Structure 1
């Protein structure tokens, strides 16, 4: 153990050291470090959780990548593409793609005896991944798609069910405006609720064969394909590679394929999520600044309280650098104590919110019913390392005060 560390330990951990060092100003500095780190942990966990939850809901309704007809517009009344077995096989083995499924959409008007509502009927096939809707199913069951039978079962959102006073087991008519207005009667098999009202208000999930019959499509025709990737971080690259791979390919009717990522399909939502990162940076800078300056004041008070000791050490031959190391070690102990309590408070609050949903939100504004929290080890470690490094760097400035202390005058200082 070095002499500097030994003296710092004696200052910080001895009874006399406790009596002299832990003054009100130093306690405030420790509290500042603790609260600052706790706020930073909460901020990062909430923003990561919020982005992840909203992103997963958008992806749950629309997948990571969609392949549609190049001539399709932004409406839900789409121009079909014909899907061959060769295309499906190529997509399933495409690097980074883990699942491929077909879909079709058609706008309509849901009609009950007392009310009506505009909806989008989304048809899915036997290859559909029901994980998202199964996790958000509140009543009833997921519909079963039979390749040889045209099912009239659908699942609707809790929003539509409450708005139109529908329950599991009820039936309703949906009218589709086309050359000849057509009506279809559907049976409610299940009710889902995602909290993402922009989509809950619209989507009714049904058998894709219903839309094929309404539009007069062949068995291989769909509105598009939905693709899921293995790693979301690689989404942009996979989407770009897929776009160029399909650019020169056409279906049997001469239609060109158009691959777009969920970010391109919903730019406003994902741009909004990216802006949240700026808020986190601002909070981190503010909290580190507050914690750092409170710690600076604490270190200055410690140095002033130990002026007599500094003079004695200089008289005994200790140089300024060595004495500065002593007080930097003391600062390290104090910062460490504050960070320990900051981690305890921050992690505790994150766990409380994660398990008990104490702070709720308005789903119509935030797309979620409670503040989401996603606390991961990597973020926690990086926050602690960053806080420790920046706080210690801020201690270098005030430690230069030691070089200004005159041994002859400071030994008489009380």
Structure 2
């Protein structure tokens, strides 16, 4: 029988334990652990959630990896065509983790209405396009259908809709300047069949989604020529590795570029979130550990007579230390329990309620995104429990300094 655990349970269950001098300090320690866990959960869920949401949005507009011609073009506009007759299209058969390969082309244009005009990037896509991203952010209308004849239906953003006063079902003009500015620009009369709102203003204010065949015709490309390929991955964590693999397995005339390479400033910024998460977790564990050390010392000093009796009965210092560590473990688990209950309630409320909003111009999202992962939560709780208990081992050495002869008192 584990008599140390038995004694610890009796101490916890005793009535005088709940009304002792140490009771307020114990409650403060439990509250500190609960608050620490809540803050750590929020920091982890929001930090990782924001990282993932920004990655998803950038990938939604660009794919994870883009394959284009080797040239000095660093703009969003594709200039030189690429033949779709590639070994890797429509699928990379010898590279794992590739979800889809789809074609695209982009061209700069100007939306012109009776009262306004606005520069945009027309992104042409084909029937192989993965619409899952825009399905999530579609707020009005329907997605265009490019599986049949050349379609004049387009998908515009809420940002463009508001600024240009274009609604679902409205037709409007897009002008495209020719290589020779002296010639009359191309004019396309298109119809807005859907409106999306990703909250990523840098993209929303620029991109209009259309049939790629318009760009092929204006650029005088053949039917089998496109601006490039977008590669979608199943696992973002492998993006750099897969980008290198794709680079080595494509023709020497082609270049592959991941979105991390294309938008380094954004990914460096969201990479700093990891440091913030680690710092918050470290601070919260230290604060919780200090509170538990205080509570443990008060418990030991309050029960010096019991410690003296146990020593007189032959208990070793190690066994008595286990009693108090079990006791402290109970307090930590109690704090973790309430911290998880309250923390999960707040996280799910934000996840499905979205009551905390953000400025999309700064954070690229309109509400605080939440990422909840069971493995991360288990690791966070186990790590907190182990580290807090480890911090209590050294303070518990004070038990060995207690003299049974002086501590046992008979009234």
Measured against the shorter chain, the TM-score band is over 0.9
Partner of 2:231, secondary structure, is strand
Out of 299, 320, 326, the position equivalent to 1:302 is 299
1:7-26 correspondence runs (5 A):
7-20=7-20, 23-26=23-26
Cα distance in 2 between the residues matched to 1:87 and 1:344: 49
- Is contact 1:10–1:17 with CA below 8 Å preserved after alignment? no
Q: Secondary structure at the match of 1:225?
A: strand
Of 380-389 and 404-413, deviating more is 404-413
Q: What is aligned with 2:318?
A: 321
- Following superposition, the deviation at residue 192 of structure 1 comes to 0.7
Measure how far apart 1:232 and its partner are: 1.9
Which runs of structure 2 are paired with 1:167-316 in the superposition (5 Å)?
167-178=167-178, 179=180, 180=183, 181-246=185-250, 249=251, 256-316=253-313
CA deviation after TM superposition for structure 1 residue 311, in Å: 1.3
Moved over 3 A (4+): none
CA distance in 2 between counterparts of 1:64 and 1:407 reads: 69
Q: CA deviation at 1:87?
A: 4.2
> Which position in structure 1 is the counterpart of 2:39?
39
Q: Which residue of 2 aligns with 1:358?
A: 355
In the TM superposition, residue 308 of structure 1 has moved relative to its aligned partner by 1.1
Question: Cα distance, 1:89 vs. partner?
Answer: 4.9
- Within 5 Å, give how 1:75-90 maps onto structure 2: 75-78=75-78, 79-84=80-85, 86-89=87-90
| CA drift at 1:16 | 2.9
**CA apart distance, 1:92:** 5.2
Matched-pair contact (CA < 8 Å) for 1:92–1:98: no
- Provide the secondary structure at the position in 2 that maps to 1:186: strand
Task: State the 1:109 CA deviation.
Answer: 1.3
Q: Deviations over 1:98-141 (max 9, x none)?
A: 21110000111111111111110000011111111122111111
Distance of 1:95 and 1:402 partners within structure 2? 58
The separation in 2 between residues aligned to 1:25 and 1:314, in whole angstroms, is: 26
Q: CA–CA distance in 1 between the matches of 2:207 and 2:69?
A: 21
Of the structure 1 ranges 392-401 and 72-81, higher mean CA displacement relative to structure 2 is found in 72-81
- Residue 141 of structure 2 corresponds to 140
Q: What are structure 1's unaligned runs of at least 5 residues?
A: 251-255
TM-score, with length taken from structure 2: 0.95
| TM superposition shift of 1:273 | 1.2
Cα distance in 2 between the residues matched to 1:297 and 1:403:
18
What is the Cα deviation at residue 171 of structure 1? 1.5
Alignment correspondent of 1:105: 106
Post-superposition shift, 1:97?
1.5
SS at match of 2:284: helix
When normalised by structure 1's length, the TM-score is 0.94
**Secondary structure, counterpart of 1:94 in structure 2:** coil
Q: Secondary structure at the match of 1:101?
A: strand
User: Which residue matches 2:372?
Assistant: 375
State how far apart, in whole Å, the 1-side matches of 2:234 and 2:22 are. 52
- Work out the CA distance in 2 between the residues paired with 1:173 and 1:163: 15
1:44-91 deviation line (CA, Å, top 9, x unaligned): 111111111111111111111110011151113322211206441563
Contact 2:308–2:404 (CA under 8 A) maintained in structure 1 = yes
3-state SS in 2 of match to 1:66: strand
Residue aligned with 1:49, SS? helix
Gaps of 5+ in 2: none
Give me the whole-angstrom Cα distance separating, in 1, the residues matched to 2:37 and 2:143.
44
Q: For 1:344-355, list aligned pairs within 5 A.
A: 344-355=341-352
Q: Is the 1:92–1:100 Cα contact (8 Å) retained in structure 2?
A: no
Equivalent residue number for residue 253 of structure 1: none
Separation of aligned partners in 1, 2:93 and 2:114: 45
Q: Would you say the 8 A contact 1:172–1:187 is kept in 2?
A: yes
1:201-252, Cα deviation, whole Å (9 max, x unpaired): 0100000011111111111111100111222222221111110111xx26xx
Distance 1:161 1:90 in 2: 35
User: Does structure 1 conserve the Cα–Cα contact (< 8 Å) formed by 2:65 and 2:243?
Assistant: yes
